[in-house]
Amino acid sequence: MGICRVWRVDCRYREIGMEHKQDIVIIGAGMVGAALACAVAPSGLKITLVDTRPPPQISDTEFDLRVSAITRASQNIFSALDAWDFMEQKRVSPFYEMRVWDSQGNGHIHFNVAEIGEDTLGWIVENSIIQNALLDRVSHFENVELIYPERITDFVVNDDVVSIELASGKKLQSNLLIGADGADSTVRKLAGISTRGWSYDQQGLVCTVRTSGYHNEMVQQVFLPTGPLAFLPIGDHTCSIVWSLSGDSAERLSSLDDEEFLKELQSAFGDSLGTMLEVGPRAVFPLRLQHSMEYVQPRVALVGDAAHAIHPLAGQGVNLGLADAASLADVLLDALDQKRDIGAIQVLRKFERWRKGDNLTMMATMDGFKRLFGSQLAPVTGLRNLGLSLANNLTPLKNMIMRRAMGLEGDLAKLARPRY
Ligand SMILES: Cc1cc2nc3c(=O)[nH]c(=O)nc-3n(C[C@H](O)[C@H](O)[C@H](O)COP(=O)(O)OP(=O)(O)OC[C@H]3O[C@@H](n4cnc5c(N)ncnc54)[C@H](O)[C@@H]3O)c2cc1C
């Protein structure tokens, strides 16, 4: 593979010829790719962002189907990038409490922000709003260009340049190529980077639900024998739900009419939000655990879901990706200060060492939770109910879990640090 790549490099490099050289080409202008572009743009580096799709529309009347629970650390990043005001002016929903319980017993845990002296546990924000806010910031920088609809079809690396081919036939030359193109990353595949992981044989069914009861700005999640079901508050008496189900169940529930669907949802979740009144369009997404064996190669780096995808049960996926973006920005800006080559493998390895451990820890924790709550064996259900109730009464442990879930622990990148 290595030899083949070198051979292709030599031929292709001559074929492509020298064109105007970029400093960084980012494939994927989703939440993570757009955040990275914003974070590096003030340096003046020439950056090209490429995406297959135009920026998503924001509707004033309908909620986006895709939403994210945003941690304090990610909100720090958005604030530092001057993107948070845009999001607040559109729609963001803070939450102050979180309740998690096991449907197979009476174990439960309740987190309240008042216990840790912060002002909120996090925010639920529609993905389209996050992406638009970041791309709006990107548009203020003359040194950043966004190209869409366009896709990468190939790239080759030479000593001091990566030559990139796009589907339209356009060719780019850059010091560094970044794959922020999601879990099915083309950049990762073209780089020959393999992944480890497995499909959960589950789909995440998402939709917006209106309930008679008020959510009290609290995230609620029940672990059902079939998988977790979460209610995330996004509007007055309105929540976005993520329901993890087997493929067959997801298909069946997606095809029910609204009334039947609401009946099943009510019976699965119970009455804590009153009656389920109305449901919007439904969509399903495959759930998997996937980790790239490498995050970097000479002149190539992967960030966000391109490098790691996890189960959404703790709403951490995009938060890990934003931490990648902020950390890679730190590493690249430091390299620039030291007049080092930003595509050099020694520079990029620093980013990989920084992020891989954190990402692996979060992935292993989420996978453990998924398995623990997926088991129907009586000793396991008994122990996990006991564990939840014990944890609920252990204030220091609860505080530690809350601070970790808010992204405030560990080695934070500059953009993610609190500003007092
Ligand atoms: C049901 C569900 C619920 C979730 N809830 C949460 C949550 O509450 N909190 C949380 O933190 N995370 C959550 N996640 C995870 C989160 O959605 C992802 O981690 C996040 O979207 C990853 O962002 P990204 O920018 O890395 O990739 P993506 O969002 O996948 O963006 C990739 C971008 O690359 C573009 N692209 C793809 N291929 C190409 C190509 N070949 N050329 C050019 N462009 C390309 C795409 O158009 C897209 O714009 C959830 C995931 C699921 C499935």
Tens of pLDDT, residue by residue over 191-219, are 999 999 877 678 999 999 999 999 999 99
Q: How far is the CA of 210 from the centre of ligand 1 (A)?
A: 25
> What is residue 10's predicted lDDT score, i.e. its pLDDT?
29
User: What is the mean pLDDT of the segment spanning 392-405?
Assistant: 75
pLDDT of residue 369: 64
Establish whether residue 407 lines the binding site of ligand 1, counting it when its CB lies within 6 angstroms of any ligand atom. no
The per-residue pLDDT for 239 is: 98
Domains in the chain, CATH or no CATH each: 2-57+129-196+289-416 (3.50.50.60), 93-121+200-287 (3.30.9.10)
Which atom in ligand 1 lies closest to the alpha carbon of residue 181? 34
**pLDDT for 391:** 67
Atom of ligand 1 nearest to the CA of 34: 25
Q: Establish whether residue 305 lines the binding site of ligand 1, counting it when its CB lies within 6 angstroms of any ligand atom.
A: yes
Find the 304 Cα to ligand 1 centroid distance in Å: 8
**Residue 101 or residue 178, greater confidence:** 178
The finding on whether 167 has its CB within 6 A of some atom of ligand 1 is no
74-78, 230-234, 303-307, 374-378: least confidently modelled range: 374-378
Distance 182 CA to ligand 1 centre (A): 5
Q: How far is the CA of 28 from the centre of ligand 1 (A)?
A: 9
Over residues 115-137, mean pLDDT: 94
- pLDDT for the residue 7: 25
Which residue lies with its CA nearest to atom 28 of ligand 1? Answer: 182
CB-based burial of residue 210 (10 Å sphere; 0-12 exposed, 13-18 middle, 19+ buried)?
middle
pLDDT for position 403:
79
Distance 155 CA to ligand 1 centre (A): 22
Question: Ligand 1: does its nearest atom lie under 6 Å from the Cβ of 366?
Answer: no
- Ligand 1 pocket test target in 64, 68, 245 with most atoms within 8 Å of CB: 68
Q: Which position has the higher pLDDT, 251 or 378?
A: 251
Ligand 1, pocket-test mutation among 36, 50, 52, 245, most atoms within 8 A of CB: 52
Contacts of 162 (CB under 8 A, 6+ apart): 25, 155, 156, 173, 174, 175, 176, 177, 299, 300, 343
Percent share of the chain, pLDDT over 90: 71
pLDDT mean over 251-264: 97
Looking up tokens 């995330």, which residue turns up?
232
Q: Is the CB of 152 under 6 A from ligand 1?
A: yes
Name which residue sits closest to atom 21 of ligand 1, judged by CA: 318
Strand intervals (E) in 280-318: 283-292, 296-297, 300-302, 308-309
pLDDT in tens, 267-278: 999 999 999 999
pLDDT value, residue 420: 65
Residue 27 Cβ contacting ligand 1 at under 6 Å: yes
- Cα–ligand 1 centroid distance for 30 (angstroms): 6
- Top-confidence residue, 2 or 231: 231
Question: Three-state SS for 276?
Answer: strand
Any ligand 1 atom below 6 A from CB of 70 = no
Least confident interval from 135-139, 367-371, 389-393: 367-371
3-state secondary structure of 5: helix
Is the pLDDT at 319 greater than 70? The verdict is yes
Question: In what helix (H) or strand (E) does residue 368 lie, and over which residues does it extend?
Answer: helix 345-374
User: How many angstroms separate the alpha carbon of residue 321 from the centre of ligand 1?
Assistant: 9
- pLDDT tens for each residue of 68-102: 999 999 999 999 999 999 999 999 999 999 998 88
The proportion of the chain whose per-residue pLDDT surpasses 70, expressed as a percent, equals 88
Q: Which residue has the higher pLDDT, 109 or 1?
A: 109
Pocket of ligand 1 contains residue 323 by CB under 6 Å:
no
Whether the predicted pLDDT of 349 surpasses 70 = yes
pLDDT-based confidence at residue 16 (cuts at 50, 70, 90): very low
| Arithmetic mean of pLDDT, 227-247 | 95
The mean predicted confidence, pLDDT, of the chain is: 89
Q: Taking 50 as the threshold, does the pLDDT of residue 11 lie above it?
A: no
Contacts 24+ apart (CB under 8 A), 338-347: 341/160, 341/175, 342/23, 342/24, 342/45, 342/175, 342/176, 343/160, 343/162, 343/174, 343/175, 343/176, 343/298, 343/299, 344/298, 345/296, 345/297, 345/298
Per-residue pLDDT band for 388 (boundaries 50, 70, 90) equals low
The 10s digit of each residue's pLDDT in 36-48 is: 999 999 999 999 9
Q: Where are the beta strands (DSSP E) in 76-211?
A: 93-95, 97-102, 108-112, 122-126, 144-147, 152-157, 162-166, 171-179, 195-211
Write down the pLDDT at residue 382.
65
Determine the longest span between alpha carbons in the chain, in angstroms. 68
Binding site membership of 358 for ligand 1 (Cβ less than 6 Å): no
pLDDT at 9 over 60: no
Q: Is the CB of 31 under 6 A from ligand 1?
A: yes
Nearest ligand 1 atom to the CA of 151 is 42
pLDDT given at position 2 = 24
Average pLDDT over residues 375-389: 65
Which whole number is the average pLDDT over 54-75? 94
- Report residue 144's pLDDT band, with 50, 70 and 90 as the boundaries: very high
Q: Is the pLDDT reported for residue 124 higher than 90? A: yes
- Cβ of 186 less than 6 Å from ligand 1: yes
Helix (H, G, I), strand (E, B) or coil at 118: coil
State the pTM of this model.
0.92
The CA-to-CA distance between both ends of the chain, in Å, stands at 50
